[in-house]
Amino acid sequence: MVRRVTIKKKQWFTDEIFGLEVHLPNLDLQPGQFFQVRTSTTYDPFLNRPISIASYKGGRLLLIIKVVGRGTKMLGQKKVGEDLQILGPFGKGLKLKKKKSLLIAGGIGVAPLLFLAQKMYGKRIEFDFVYGVKKEQALIKKSHISQIARHAIFVAEQGRSKMTVLGALDMLDIASYDIAYACGPTTMLIELQKLNLPIPVYAFCEDFLGCGCGLCLGCAIMYKGEYKRICEDGPVFELKGISFDE
Ligand SMILES: Cc1cc2nc3c(=O)[nH]c(=O)nc-3n(C[C@H](O)[C@H](O)[C@H](O)COP(=O)(O)OP(=O)(O)OC[C@H]3O[C@@H](n4cnc5c(N)ncnc54)[C@H](O)[C@@H]3O)c2cc1C
Ligand code: FES
């Protein structure tokens, strides 16, 4: 469904990560779902850009976006009061499990996990949050995460900790959790899969999307021996079932 919304608030968290807040009432949104955002009013760029729900409260939807290329740069130039065309929500929402959880975020992968954390906090599900980035300045929403997580660990490869998010997992007794959720670059998910953690891990997958709604098969991944569409069957899959083509 195409929705025309107005940007109510815009905030730069770092020099390349910003948030856009729009008013979109009465939706039942679930973690893992995303919107396809039009970056311009013309057909250039032609494809919409998939952006996760980072927060949804009182009808206010927050999208947190990292500028990586032309489309996200154009979104970063939008101003408060401007209209934004978004389609969705797309993707299968996660059904929350009342289990002791570990959230593992790498880079901008923190965006959908913030919404998962918001929902878990609302349902009083206990969770710890491990969040890693390359440069310390790229850590966003630290105080918010610290407030709602039972324990939060923040690391930066080029910061004081000199540690990757997966390195930080060594500080934890992973078997003490029932379930983990991870989102980050594919390289991080591949390395996480190799760690073979003793608990189920659910990965939020990202890829270039074409249609974003299950029609073009442009986002297919091999999952448990079958092709699945990230946009329609995912984007969240159990990590051990994913065959990454390295
Ligand atoms: C389901 C889903 C949810 C997403 N949620 C968010 C979010 O909440 N916030 C956010 O900032 N980004 C998110 N992304 C990634 C975002 O969609 C891309 O960064 C964006 O489409 C890039 O558009 P662009 O025109 O700026 O870059 P392009 O000009 O298309 O590409 C620039 C560079 O970014 C890389 N790139 C482009 N798209 C992706 C991608 N999907 N995954 C990895 N690398 C990519 C390219 O390899 C290239 O190096 C999500 C992607 C998916 C599939
Ligand atoms: S992007 Fe077209 S089927 Fe997923």
Would residue 105 count as lying in a domain? Answer: yes
Write down the pLDDT at residue 46. Answer: 79
Ligand nearest to the backbone CA of 35? 1
Same-domain check for residues 122 and 145: yes
Same-domain check for residues 141 and 119: yes
Q: How far apart are CA 201 and CA 95, in angstroms?
A: 14
Write down the pLDDT at residue 161. Answer: 86
Write down the pLDDT at residue 9. Answer: 98
Same-domain check for residues 74 and 166: no
Same-domain check for residues 42 and 125: no
Q: How far apart are CA 151 and CA 141, in angstroms?
A: 14
Q: Is the separation of the CB atoms in 93 and 30 below 8 Å? A: yes
Strand order in the sheet with 242-243: 226-229, 220-223, 242-243
Write down the pLDDT at residue 2. Answer: 81
Which of 66, 90, 114 is the endpoint of a domain?
90
Residue nearest to atom 6 of ligand 1 (CA): 51
Would residue 243 count as lying in a domain? Answer: no
Q: Which domain CATH number covers 178? A: 3.40.50.80
Residue range(s) defining the domain that contains residue 30: 2-90
Q: Which domain CATH number covers 63? A: 2.40.30.10
Ligand nearest to the backbone CA of 235? 1
- Select from 47, 206, 207, 216 the residue to mutate for testing ligand 2; criterion: most ligand atoms less than 8 Å from CB: 216
Q: How far apart are CA 38 and CA 102, in angstroms?
A: 33
**CA angle (44, 50, 53) in 5-degree steps:** 140
Same-domain check for residues 134 and 115: yes
Write down the pLDDT at residue 208. Answer: 79
Task: Please report where in the chains the tokens 């974003």 appear, as a residue.
Answer: 212
Q: What is the pLDDT along the chain (246 residues), one digit of tens a residue?
A: 788 999 999 999 999 999 999 999 999 999 999 999 998 777 777 788 999 999 999 999 999 999 999 999 999 999 999 999 999 999 999 999 889 999 999 999 999 999 999 999 999 999 999 999 999 999 999 999 999 999 999 999 997 889 999 999 999 999 999 999 999 999 999 999 999 999 999 999 987 788 888 888 889 999 999 999 999 999 999 999 999 975
Same-domain check for residues 132 and 59: no
Q: Is the separation of the CB atoms in 96 and 125 below 8 Å? A: yes
Would residue 240 count as lying in a domain? Answer: no
Same-domain check for residues 51 and 120: no
- CB atoms closer than 10 angstroms to residue 68: 11
The total of structural domains in the chain comes to 2
Which of 69, 90, 111 is the endpoint of a domain?
90
Name the nearest CA neighbour of 97 among 69, 70, 127.
127
Write down the pLDDT at residue 245. Answer: 77
Q: Is the separation of the CB atoms in 114 and 121 below 8 Å? A: no
Q: Is the separation of the CB atoms in 119 and 96 below 8 Å? A: yes
Would residue 17 count as lying in a domain? Answer: yes
Same-domain check for residues 77 and 107: no
Q: How far apart are CA 150 and CA 199, in angstroms?
A: 19
Which residues are paired to 228 by β-bridges? 221
Same-domain check for residues 111 and 179: yes
Q: How far apart are CA 84 and CA 39, in angstroms?
A: 8
Ligand nearest to the backbone CA of 40? 1
Same-domain check for residues 126 and 198: yes
- CA of 131 relative to ligand 1 center, distance in Å: 19
Would residue 190 count as lying in a domain? Answer: yes
**Measured from the CA of 215, which atom of ligand 2 is nearest?**
3
**Measured from the CA of 209, which atom of ligand 2 is nearest?**
1
Which residues are paired to 7 by β-bridges? 22
What distance, in Å, lies between the first and last C-alpha atoms of the chain?
A: 35
Write down the pLDDT at residue 246. Answer: 59
Is the Cβ atom of 215 under 6 angstroms away from ligand 2? yes
- CA of 168 relative to ligand 1 center, distance in Å: 25
Q: How far apart are CA 90 and CA 35, in angstroms?
A: 6
**Measured from the CA of 67, which atom of ligand 1 is nearest?**
26
DSSP structural state of residue 233: H
- CA of 67 relative to ligand 1 center, distance in Å: 9
Same-domain check for residues 8 and 78: yes
Would residue 222 count as lying in a domain? Answer: no
Same-domain check for residues 8 and 43: yes
HSE, CB side, 13 Å, CA atoms: give it for residue 81. 0
Would residue 51 count as lying in a domain? Answer: yes
Q: Position 58: which residue type?
A: G
- CA of 4 relative to ligand 2 center, distance in Å: 22
Which of 204, 221, 241 is the endpoint of a domain?
204
Name the nearest CA neighbour of 187 among 115, 114, 132, 117.
132
Is the Cβ atom of 218 under 6 angstroms away from ligand 2? yes
Is the Cβ atom of 227 under 6 angstroms away from ligand 2? no
Would residue 181 count as lying in a domain? Answer: yes
